[in-house]
Amino acid sequence: MKQKKWDYYKLKEGEEISICKECLTLSTRPRVKYDENGVCNACTWAKEKKHKIDWEERWKRLEEICDRFRRDDGYWDIIVPCSGGKDGTYVAWMMKHKLNMNPLCITVKPNLQTEIGKENLDNFIKGGFDHMLVNPNPEVYRKLSIETFKEQGRPKQPFEMAISTIILQLAIKLKIPFIMYGEEGESEYSGTVPDFEEFKISRDYLIECYYSGHNPNEEFLELFDKKDLQMFLLPTEEELRNAELFPTHWSNFEDWNSLEHFELAKEKCGTKSLSHHSIGTFTNYAQLDDKLQELHAFMMQIKYGFGRAWSDACIEIRAGRMTREEGIEMVKKYDGEFPNEYLQDYLEFYEMTEEEFWSTINSFRSPDLWEKVDDVWRLKFKVE
């Protein structure tokens, strides 16, 4: 791939690592901003959701959009991307039973699907939904994943791209213009708050935020012929415009609350959680479908200094379910835990020896964030 390898994180001259004064969001997080009081943009958005957003008015706008796309001929009138987990299940159930839409739910199979992920997906389908499972060519899927892991430190980047490229392509071919994704992650988790026209997801937003500036139409074509990459290519602006697609996020219309989503998904579709905490965090009901998710979260800490427990603690603090002090304890206890139980799966999938695997991981450690003490890697800063 001609793309520049993702370099390790570098502090700018005179820059110091800072932590949000209200949650624990680190200044190393991509696209994060702080106000004059040292409060991150996710905390600011959390307050706006409580005090400034008129959610009744937002719901009315959603009803109007549904009225615009609802059909009376029995054909699907909306696509809901869904892995079978809590959030997609919640959105699909609400669309069908609260808004009287007829959803086609689509799952892009992850590279290394877990057993509980399979079970939850089966339970979701049995809950009464039309469903399509998309299996990308495993040879292409894996080679792309190997390249993005080596070059960007992103173990599941092709999957992250496919959940939009494949969905948009199918929406065009099936002539279902309305697409409902889950949360708008930039606003929820301290990124650049997008200025969407009518809450419509733009192509540029996908590339800059979801794909971290990497355009699959340019980079992936260096590895495979176009005929092998159909599922990973993003429709052009002209194709999207001609199809009059309207992809949007559920969180634009209802305050996003994953715990409430899980409770509904468990009640209505039998969604299951783990009997223990997920690797690297204290929660047990989120992101359960893919073994590579744990490696993705581990690489997040390698590259930026914060991992899954750190991110989850920020969410819980902003939701008022955890104090900042409790969040710090969770970070100290769980953050950065490596998924040893999946190591052999990773080595086989990436076709690496254990030495090559760890060499790849360690190549993304920033000397501004990490130091080696007594042959053990440690962060140079503490959460406080």
DSSP string spanning 212-257?
TT--HHHHGGGTS-GGG-GGGPPPPHHHHHHHT-EEEEGGGTS---
- 310 CB-near residues (< 8 Å, 6+ apart): 24, 26, 301, 331, 335, 383
pLDDT of residue 369: 96
10-residue block means of pLDDT along the chain (384 residues)?
63 90 95 94 93 95 97 97 96 98 97 96 97 96 94 93 96 98 89 72 89 86 87 95 96 96 97 96 96 96 96 96 97 96 98 97 95 94 88
pLDDT of residue 196: 62
What's the pTM? 0.94
Q: Residue 49 and residue 41: Cα distance in Å, rounded? A: 12
Burial (Cβ within 10 Å: 0-12, 13-18, ≥19) of residue 313: buried
pLDDT of residue 1: 45
CATH class (in words) of the domain with range 54-252: alpha beta
Indicate the DSSP class of residue 291.
Answer: T
First vs last C-alpha separation in the chain: 40
Hey, where are the domains in the chain?
A: 54-252, 274-379
pLDDT of residue 384: 82
> How far is Cα of residue 98 from the mean position of the Cα atoms in its chain?
25
